[in-house]
Amino acid sequence: MRLRRAATIFFSSAVLSLSALTLGACGGPGGATPEATSLEDQLLEPGPLGEREYGNRNAPVTVIEYVSLTCPYCRAYHAKVFPRIKRTYVDTGRVRYIIREFAIGQTAGAAAIITRCAPKSKFLALNEAYLARQSEWVSQEMRPDALYKIAKSSGMSRAQFDKCSSNQSIIDGLTEVKQRGRKYGVVGTPTFFINGQKLQGEVTFEQMKALIEPQAS
């Protein structure tokens, strides 16, 4: 019940009202917005929980991804596109990659809280596990046992998991991250900012490459 209460608190705030969080906000055809979004200094300001970032901090290109762990388009992106982006650009030092939470629905919010309780070094693996294994835990009803079954792969004990689920500082921090995302025009997931250029929906490697490559040299 603690996990359910925490997620309810998270999504009952004025900023993250459940009425605004619909499945329609997840995914859709990928593409750039009609006008490029300038990469303002405030877009790069870290959130209250700190960034989960990978690659060279001084890379010529910064990619910011807003993700909901229950989103099927996010799952597809992380299965098919992200590994190539990471291998081609992040691991070679040409891209700084930042992952930010934009949870859609209570279940996604509960999982996002748990990923922030894992050690920073385990965040990416746990994030990927929740995405890849959506069929094991995503449902309209909260399933704490299913969430923990994946979380324990990060070394988290059940006691840590239960305590984490009601961590108010994390809940508040994730609320602010989402609020700021909306300020920058994020309305669904996945949404990307590539040196300020906005892409959203079901994007391909080629679409990402077209924006990264000219700036990554």
Domain containing residue 167:
2-14+47-210
Rounded Cα distance between 135 and 155, Å, is 22
Please name the amino acid found at residue 190.
P
Q: What is the number of structural domains in the chain?
A: 1
Is residue 118 situated within a structural domain? yes
Cβ–Cβ under 8 Å, residues 149 and 136? yes
Is residue 206 situated within a structural domain? yes
Element (H, E) at 130: helix 123-132
Rounded Cα distance between 131 and 125, Å, is 10
Sheet of strand 191-194, all strands in order from the earlier edge strand to the far edge = 31-32, 197-200, 191-194, 61-67, 95-101, 52-55
- Token couple for 180: 């700021």
- Residue 38 pLDDT: 56
Is residue 140 situated within a structural domain? yes
Cβ–Cβ under 8 Å, residues 39 and 193? yes
pTM for this prediction: 0.85
Is residue 215 situated within a structural domain? no
Is residue 174 situated within a structural domain? yes
Mean pLDDT by 10 residues, the chain (217 residues): 44 36 56 53 89 97 97 98 98 98 96 96 97 96 96 96 95 97 95 94 96 93
- Residue 21 pLDDT: 32
- Residue 17 pLDDT: 34
- Residue 132 pLDDT: 98
72: CATH: 3.40.30.10
